[in-house]
Amino acid sequence: MIRIFNRYLPIRDTVYFILENAAILFFLMGSTTTKGNGWTNLILVPLVVQICLYYNELHPSFPRYSLKEFWVKHLQAILLAGGILFAIYLIVPIGIGSADRFWTRIVWFPFILIGLRLGYQALVAIQRWETPVLIIGSGQVATLLMETLIRYRNLGYRPIQFKWDLGAPDKLGEEWEKLGTILGVHQVRKVVIALNDRRKQLPVEALLNLRVQGVEVVEGVSFYEQISGKILVRPLRPSSLIFSEGFNRMSIMRVTKRALDILLASVGLIVSLPIFLILGILIKLDSKGPIFYRQERVGEKGKNFMVIKFRSMRQDAERATGPVWASENDPRVTRLGRVMRLLRLDEIPQMINVLKGEMSFVGPRPERPVFVDQLRKKIPYYDLRFTVKPGLTGWAQIKYQYGSTEEDALEKLQYDLYYIKHLSPLFDMTIVMETIRVILGGKGAR
């Protein structure tokens, strides 16, 4: 796998993505002038097309859709890209060289693109371009790895499990012989160690022999982090966090992140001023109570602050029950509130918290103090999420559904730790782009 902006992508898909865009450029070069500003077509067309493909879930490593879904999704993305490009060419005078030849190629372009992708998928299916990976172990981590790699075959791995057994010292040679046979038969070049107790079971000499022979040997929890985008908390040892890469807090990174927060929040508030006016009127007409809702949340370094949201619940929503988790079809939510939550419109005023420095645009979602007190007693490493500012959106929000239980909180923490470990402005930008895609896809909050 290859790491791009803190996301691990299969090398084969990444290489195809590069070749696909090279083919698009080559296809356009024959009809586009490079004089004046005509060269911008060579950037504009691939950029708009890839953005539309991305927001239609057709980015690198996209799932293997059925033939019907494949055609429908690609045609939707290409029609959207065509509409955007047509609007741009009407507004901005960009030189395109031979107009007849250019628009003829644009018409043929969808068939070329879809043909390339169909051919690539067929080739992958026929050739089975998968990397054999041997998972040594039989515990929780090994099981999770097997399930994940089997479920997401588009990651490009073919998992093979080997349950290393050291019940008796005289079995060492026998087990090593079995392991060598599996490695040879399946031509394994990557071994993942997922043993329950490595101090008693780790076959150090055998693994050292593999390593010097060019076989890649990786630790199970780290490999799971790469393929899932989250850090397993339950089996995690403190040393794994202390000695691992990541968790960088360079001054330039903090300054850049804060500058990005101010820019995004300022632009967002200016653009959303009409929304403030319209929603303010609708909230007043829909139910009794104030337009804005202020609620205490826990922020960076465990400090409490008041988060600002558009009110989406009845004014007396928690009078009888006290603080409770939100639930699906929550009866406390107003009619307008359901729409606002689906489109995340109730979150817009939190950009004021971002400008005040209480929140970041991207980070772990802030929780209420009463729930934090409960969760920090039951979930290991929970306090690590307070080492950064909470966010308006976050890695956990785009990777996992809205959480309403302690198990959900644990799952979200695993994504939050991944974000904190790999924090960077570029990672923030990818999360913002992914958040837009999630919202446009109708995957709203409760």
pLDDT band (50, 70, 90) for residue 38? low
pLDDT of residue 140 exceeding 70, the answer is: yes
The listed range with the strongest mean pLDDT (32-36, 71-75, 104-108, 281-285) is 281-285
pLDDT band (50, 70, 90) for residue 297? very high
Q: Report helix, strand or coil for 343.
A: coil
CA 51 and chain centroid, separation: 16
The listed range with the strongest mean pLDDT (79-83, 353-357, 399-403) is 353-357
Q: Please state the domain extents for the chain.
A: 2-127, 131-228, 251-440
CA dist 120 → 14, 16, 76, 109, 116 (Å):
12, 8, 20, 17, 6
Closest of 274, 275, 240, 229 to residue 430, by C-alpha? 229
What is the spatial distance between Cα 31 and Cα 24, in angstroms, rounded to a whole number?
Answer: 12
Mean of the pLDDT values across residues 112-123? 82
What are the pLDDT digits (tens) for 282-295? 999 988 889 998 99
97: number of Cβ within 10 Å: 17
Q: Which amino acid is at 116?
A: L
What is the spatial distance between Cα 245 and Cα 98, in angstroms, rounded to a whole number?
Answer: 52
What are the pLDDT digits (tens) for 251-276? 788 888 999 999 999 999 999 999 99
pLDDT band (50, 70, 90) for residue 322? low
What is the spatial distance between Cα 99 and Cα 104, in angstroms, rounded to a whole number?
Answer: 8
pLDDT of residue 169 exceeding 60, the answer is: no
Q: Which two tokens stand for residue 201?
A: 């079971």
> Which residues have a Cβ under 8 Å from the Cβ of 407 and sit 6 or more positions away?
none
Q: Which two tokens stand for residue 267?
A: 């632009």
241 with 215: CB under 8 angstroms?
A: no
- What pTM does this model have? 0.81
Closest of 54, 213, 224 to residue 145, by C-alpha? 224
> Which residues have a Cβ under 8 Å from the Cβ of 433 and sit 6 or more positions away?
54
pLDDT band (50, 70, 90) for residue 167? low
What is the spatial distance between Cα 141 and Cα 179, in angstroms, rounded to a whole number?
Answer: 19
32 with 38: CB under 8 angstroms?
A: yes
Q: Torsions phi, psi of 22, nearest 5?
A: -65, -40
Answer with the residue of higher pLDDT: 336 or 332.
336
What are the pLDDT digits (tens) for 197-225? 666 556 677 778 778 888 888 888 889 99
pLDDT band (50, 70, 90) for residue 302? very high
What is the spatial distance between Cα 108 and Cα 246, in angstroms, rounded to a whole number?
Answer: 46
β-pairing, 216-219 vs 292-298, is: unpaired
- Please state which CATH number belongs to domain 131-228: 3.40.50.2300
Q: Which two tokens stand for residue 112?
A: 């070329």
pLDDT at position 198 is 60
Closest of 435, 376, 422 to residue 7, by C-alpha? 422
What are the pLDDT digits (tens) for 379-421? 989 999 999 999 999 999 888 876 667 888 899 999 999 999 8
216 with 191: CB under 8 angstroms?
A: yes
DSSP 364: P
CA dist 254 → 362, 415, 420 (Å):
13, 20, 12
What is the spatial distance between Cα 437 and Cα 52, in angstroms, rounded to a whole number?
Answer: 10
